[in-house]
A and B are shown apart, each in its own frame.
Chain A
């Protein structure tokens, strides 16, 4: 069973950079066949796709966040990471990492998710 686990600070100051890492177990990022992505959920609200990355480093980002987002991958550690710069209170959310098939009928769906981590932006 594929497992994903988010890690990183739960509190970030306004204007600083939010940094999260997702560690993948029971699957190899470098095997290909999947994108590895980030989705966030503002408190009490719906889901927002942030972006995802392929093992090769190819990325797709949500245009609404693209200027502030970088997703990177470290295949040696079987991890991928999110950096969101110049954060404000509007970036307070639960951040999920998830796996997305890159081909087939289910491509671009998210079939395995981490448990999520709440990141609060506050001074």
Chain B
């Protein structure tokens, strides 16, 4: 199974900050990774697929990139509605696995 390690697990930030979350895969998965946002009590929402493709309707302040086995989710200017937990997910290998999550909290 491919393991996805997210860092940090918790992140405190302010509105307007630039935020970067990292997901490292235990082996090469090319660009086969997705990112989700989950607000408290809600279902996850797909933000990005194929490492850097923005899902329809997702604001352009969200972006994704990859370098080797390290994937990055960046929020360019943090908005109040962005305080949530973010998960990565592998797309090209069974079982489909998720990272442990990164909770973005208000500083």
Interface residues of chain A, those whose CB is within 8 Å of chain B, are 46-49, 60, 62-64, 96, 98, 105-111, 113-116
Closest residue of chain A to B99 (Cβ to Cβ) is: A46
For B43, give its contact among A60, A64, A109, A114 (CB under 8 Å).
A114
Given contacts A110-B44, A115-B43, contact A49 B95 (CB under 8 A): yes
Closest residue of chain A to B32 (Cβ to Cβ) is: A108
Given contacts A47-B87, A109-B91, A111-B55, contact A96 B96 (CB under 8 A): no
For chain B, give the interface size range. 20 to 34
A79 CA to B55 CA in the complex, in Å? 25
Interface residues of chain B, those whose CB is within 8 Å of chain A, are 32, 34, 36, 42-46, 49-50, 53, 55, 87, 89, 91-92, 94-101
- Consensus secondary structure, chain B interface: loop
Contacts of B32 in A (CB 8 A): 108
A92 CA to B98 CA in the complex, in Å? 19
Closest residue of chain A to B87 (Cβ to Cβ) is: A47
Contacts of B95 in A (CB 8 A): 49, 62-64
- The listed residue with most A CB atoms (<10 A of its CB), out of B32, B42, B91, B99, is B91
Contacts of A64 in B (CB 8 A): 95
For B34, give its contact among A106, A113, A115, A116 (CB under 8 Å).
A106
Contacts of A110 in B (CB 8 A): 34, 36, 44, 46, 89
